[in-house]
Amino acid sequence: MRKRFKKVQESTVTISELMLPSHSNFNGKIHGGYILSLLDQIAFACASKHSEVYCVTASVDTVDFLKPIEIGELVTMKASVNYVGRTSMVIGIRVEAENIQTGASKHCNSSYFSMVAKDSSGNSVEVPGLILKNHNEIRRFAKSLERRNRKRSGIAEFKSTDFASEKYLHLVEGQHVKIELED
């Protein structure tokens, strides 16, 4: 029987992988697309561990590439459930890279993935609630809620039927743009 509520640490997932030359881009750094693939995998593992069912990626809310990752560095990703709704979860992921020769470590990426729990028929299913045990977990939950609310208001604005450019001119004034309207 599934639990009605779970502690954050019950679903935390950590993975580490050595970055190989085959993971690099044309600039000799680790390709961002490869990191995104790993992020999606750990988000899936964390969400599935929390919900105890198959999960799908609904959206990637934020991916901030802070520092490049070098070939030969050991990348460690730490994922935790930051927020739960009825059928969805926000998984926060921190990426650190360590120079295995010097031991120097750097924070390279922070990401937030929205995941939805599904049953075998593809229908969304309810997920366990979250037990918040400390101020950091409360902060992460609240920040996820803020991002969710901003996203919803942005989607509502985008879906608006009023696409008159005059409504948005005040936003582009003073920006690095030249407007040449055609009749």
Written as six digits, the tokens of 70 are: 């070098």
Q: Residue 145 pLDDT more than 60?
A: yes
Domain boundaries, the chain: 5-162
Contacts of 75 (CB under 8 A, 6+ apart): 16, 17, 18, 19, 30, 35, 38, 69, 95, 96, 97, 98, 108
Q: Residue 156 pLDDT more than 70?
A: no
Q: Residue 1 pLDDT more than 60?
A: no
When pLDDT is averaged across residues 164-168 and rounded to a whole number, the result is: 75
Percent of the chain predicted with pLDDT > 90? 77
Query: Phi then psi for 86, rounded to 5 degrees?
Result: -75, -50
Q: Annotate 39-97 with DSSP letters as a single string.
A: HHHHHHHHHHHHHSSEEEEEEEEEEEE-S--BTT-EEEEEEEEEEE-SSEEEEEEEEEE
Confidence class for position 165, pLDDT limits 50, 70, 90: confident
Residue predicted with more confidence, 154 or 161: 154
Confidence class for position 160, pLDDT limits 50, 70, 90: low
pLDDT of residue 172: 85
Report yes or no: 46 and 91 within 8 Å, Cβ to Cβ: yes
pLDDT of residue 99: 98
Contacts of 177 (CB under 8 A, 6+ apart): none
| CA pair distance 71, 68, nearest whole angstrom | 10
CATH topology of domain 5-162: Thiol Ester Dehydrase; Chain A (3.10.129)
Q: What is the pLDDT of residues 55-83, one digit of tens each?
A: 999 999 889 999 999 999 999 999 999 99
When pLDDT is averaged across residues 157-166 and rounded to a whole number, the result is: 66
Q: What is the pLDDT of residues 86-118, one digit of tens each?
A: 999 999 999 999 999 999 999 999 999 999 999
